Chain A
Amino acid sequence: AQSVAQPEDQVNVAEGNPLTVKCTYSVSGNPYLFWYVQYPNRGLQFLLKYITGDNLVKGSYGFEAEFNKSQTSFHLKKPSALVSDSALYFCAVRDTSGRALTFGSGTRLQVQP
């Protein structure tokens, strides 16, 4: 069975500093990996995905993520955090059958002014 781990319940960072939100996964075959963001009282919004190709993926709002096959990780990064980035972030993995999508437990990002 596939799984996703987000080891940090919360990440705190000062505005202007770089941020990293960690994600590791377990899946049979080649993974399809995703990051979604949830703002308060809103549904989830797509940020970026890795399907194949370049290990560094760029997405919305200046976010990027690096796929590392040997470490089975897909960490979310941003060079300079904004207060408006404060939200709940979810990593997800889909197996190559394309059927089931498994989410991590979420990491709350708090950016202090």
Chain B
Amino acid sequence: EAQVTQNPRYLITVTGKKLTVTCSQNMNHEYMSWYRQDPGLGLRQIYYSMNVEVTDKGDVPEGYKVSRKEKRNFPLILESPSPNQTSLYFCASMDPSYEQYFGPGTRLTVT
């Protein structure tokens, strides 16, 4: 089954404790992206990657890092999380016709 997976689905952590949210897709898509969803703000793009070793900032990259060492994986790293990064995070991959496939989401709470 074609899918995008994210782990963990739920995470509660404390300010400053480094964390990684994993994302993997099995569709061989070149383009992958991370978004955060906040009430009233819709989805905002954090980072995207056009291909392996090619990443670029989206609209809200501050406080986040990404890496793309292999095509299927695109982890999101918060090196020093803060409460304003409490949000619902989505990973997505895109096929050549520009249709995006979203993961199930990761709900992050930073206290």
Residue on A nearest B101 in the bound complex, by CB? A46
Q: Determine whether the beta carbon of B98 is less than 8 Å from that of A98.
A: yes
**Given contacts A100-B48, A100-B58, A101-B33, A44 and B42 within 8 Å (CB-CB):** no
Q: How large is the interface on A (under 10, 10 to 19, 20 to 34, 35 or more residues)?
A: 20 to 34
Q: Determine whether the beta carbon of B45 is less than 8 Å from that of A101.
A: yes
**Given contacts A42-B104, A44-B90, A99-B50, A49 and B42 within 8 Å (CB-CB):** no
Chain B contact residues: over half helix, strand or loop, or mixed?
strand
Q: Determine whether the beta carbon of A99 is less than 8 Å from that of B42.
A: no
Q: Determine whether the beta carbon of B105 is less than 8 Å from that of A103.
A: no
Extra pairs beyond A36-B102, A43-B4, A45-B102 (15, CB < 8 Å): A9-B40, A36-B100, A42-B104, A43-B103, A46-B101, A49-B99, A98-B31, A99-B48, A99-B56, A100-B58, A100-B59, A102-B45, A102-B59, A103-B45, A104-B42
Residues of A within 8 A of B (CB): 4, 6, 9, 32, 34, 36, 42-46, 49, 51, 90, 92, 94, 98-106
Name the residue among A34, A92, A100, A104 with the largest chain B CB count within 10 angstroms: A100
Which residues of chain A are near B56, meaning CB under 8 Å? Answer: 99
Q: What's the tally of chain B residues with a CB closer than 8 Å to chain A?
A: 26
Which residues of chain A are near B29, meaning CB under 8 Å? Answer: none
Chain A contact residues: over half helix, strand or loop, or mixed?
strand
Name the residue among B4, B44, B98 with the largest chain A CB count within 10 angstroms: B98
Minimum CB–CB distance for A61 against chain B, Å:
15
Q: Determine whether the beta carbon of A105 is less than 8 Å from that of B41.
A: yes
Which residues of chain B are near A104, meaning CB under 8 Å? Answer: 42
Q: Determine whether the beta carbon of B48 is less than 8 Å from that of A43.
A: no
- B105 in complex: contacting residue of A32, A43, A92, A94, CB < 8 Å: A43
A-B contact list, 19 entries, CB within 8 Å: A42-B104, A43-B90, A43-B104, A45-B102, A46-B99, A49-B97, A51-B97, A51-B98, A90-B43, A98-B98, A99-B56, A100-B59, A101-B48, A101-B100, A103-B35, A103-B45, A104-B42, A105-B40, A105-B42
